[in-house]
Homo-oligomer: A and B are copies of this chain.
Amino acid sequence: MQEVYIAGIGMTKFGKDPRSLAAILSEAAEIALGDAQVREVDALYIGAMNPEEFTGDANLASQVADVLGLTGIPATRIETASSAGAAALMAAFQAIASGHYRRVLVLAGEKMTHLSTSATTRILAEVIDKRERLCGATMPALAAMITEKYRQKFRLSQSNLEKMLCAVALKNHRNGAKNPLAQFQRVITRRDYFGSKFIATPLRLYDCAPITDGAAALVLTGDPTEVRLAGIGQGTGPISLQDREIFTSFPATRIAARRAYEMAETSPQGIDFAEVHDAFTPFEIITSEDLGFFPPAKGGYAALDGKTAVEGVLPINPSGGLKARGHPVGASGLAQVVEAAKLLKGQAAAKREFKRALTQSTGGLGTNNFVAILERPGAPAVQNLWTPAPPSATPPKQKSRPPGDVIEGTIETFTIVHVTPDGFLPPLALALIRARDGTLLMAQGEDDTQLKIGREVFVRRLDGVFLFTVKSQLQKVQEAFTRLWRGEPATNPPQDSRIGDSR
């Protein structure tokens, strides 16, 4: 197979950018073409998540070819939700590896800041399973539920978990402060972190990557340069939380990593630093475990102990990550590669010398993930000793249930959403419930108190949405329901211990 190298890199200043998406992409492209000292390429690959809804314009690939004065050459847009930039890299990699093209321009970008936060949240939430969206689930809400499960499974106290998340946020802001292209270039303090509002418990504002405009670009070539794209892999995972058995790991990352390590003939031990998808701080921790850098449950401690700082044993997100560099969704997967190449070439703020880097990008809620490995000549060979855990069984699929049915189960994980989508009032309790038959379902809480993993609940369905009540509150709900049903104040609660719509 033809080997693939990076000939040039480019990136815009991330943040609010008043220009059109095509203009932003065009700037990144010009920088990369200049860096590679070339003017002509054989093809164009563009990663973008949802330019149609973010900007109202479609046909992005042709549009960008036009703006760049490259009309005529093949131009293709690639999309895998928030990992679109990495997906474009993969398509371009294969196009060169196949011998079809010799030199291609890979671009990725998104324009988001001109919309309201609620409009942006709605567009971003379209990657979530429709059933879960109907309950009011947003990306931060689902990330929060994964975080709570991580805490419970690995027996972390609330306070220990918070310290770990805070450590990731502070580190990434510290790194971003040294990156002139980062959206946030200021150090934040523990006080800033703990003073920031909850988006969805236990995640605060400073646990979430911002809304950003920006683009990244790369010239890939078959001719040797100082940075080789040594390995690349992709894996997918279930869309819905309720179709998963694993909540504290993203199997899609493990699949992608295995492939990338194999192709690059290396292992986690051979990686000098990594750029990973920290759209939410807990994702950096989970991903550092999925990539084999730390054993399960140890990623948070590693962050807390400074192992992932720029001066640590395995720097993670030396560029500031999505958290501080910013997260123009379709761009991030490629921006990571640009940042990693910059650091390998000695052009970044961190002044250590590195030989081999890994980048990891996440699409949706860990549904479409990529891992790439970049190498300088002379990177030491490392035997591949890593065997990721085999993918686990999936839970039984949800059955269709009659509307009147009442389901008994336990809380598998939960969150209280403070920044809700349009049409949902905060605070909104959401939980993943494991029914007695082993199936999982997403439900809205009838109130937001007494939530705890393992607690027993009753679930009923109303207008297609599941509603849950913690068992101890059953009496109150029964009474309210009975009153409603009879159209009169109930004096005696019904004898039947089940609640629900008996139509």
Contacts and interface: CB of A to CB of B under 8 A. Distances in A.
A70 B394 CA distance: 12
Contacts of A78: 76-79, 91
B72 A235 contact: yes
A80 interface: yes
Q: How large is the interface on A (under 10, 10 to 19, 20 to 34, 35 or more residues)?
A: 35 or more
Contact of A72 (B62, B94, B100, B251): B251
Given A1-B98, A72-B391, A98-B98, 18 more contacts: A1-B99, A50-B52, A50-B58, A59-B81, A62-B80, A62-B81, A62-B239, A62-B368, A66-B243, A70-B236, A71-B237, A72-B252, A72-B255, A73-B235, A74-B233, A74-B234, A78-B91, A91-B91
Contact of A75 (B62, B240, B368): B368
A274 interface: no
Please give me the 6 A-B residue pairs with the lowest Cβ-Cβ distance, nearest first. Answer: A98-B98, A62-B367, A74-B234, A58-B126, A59-B127, A97-B98
B1 A75 contact: no
A1 B90 CA distance: 18
Contact of A76 (B58, B61, B90, B251): B90
A63 interface: yes
Contacts of A1: 98-100
Interface in A5-56: 43, 49-50, 52-53, 56
A192 interface: no
A144 B372 CA distance: 47
Contact of A52 (B57, B77, B126, B251): B126
Interface in A228-259: 233-240, 243, 251-252, 255
A175 to B, nearest CB: 29
A333 interface: no
A93 to B, nearest CB: 8
Contacts of A80: 59, 61-62, 75-77
A168 interface: no
Contact of A71 (B66, B73, B236): B236
Q: Which of A53, A100, A234 has the most CB of B within 10 A?
A: A100
A79 B66 contact: no
A291 interface: no
A305 B97 CA distance: 46
Contacts of A251: 72
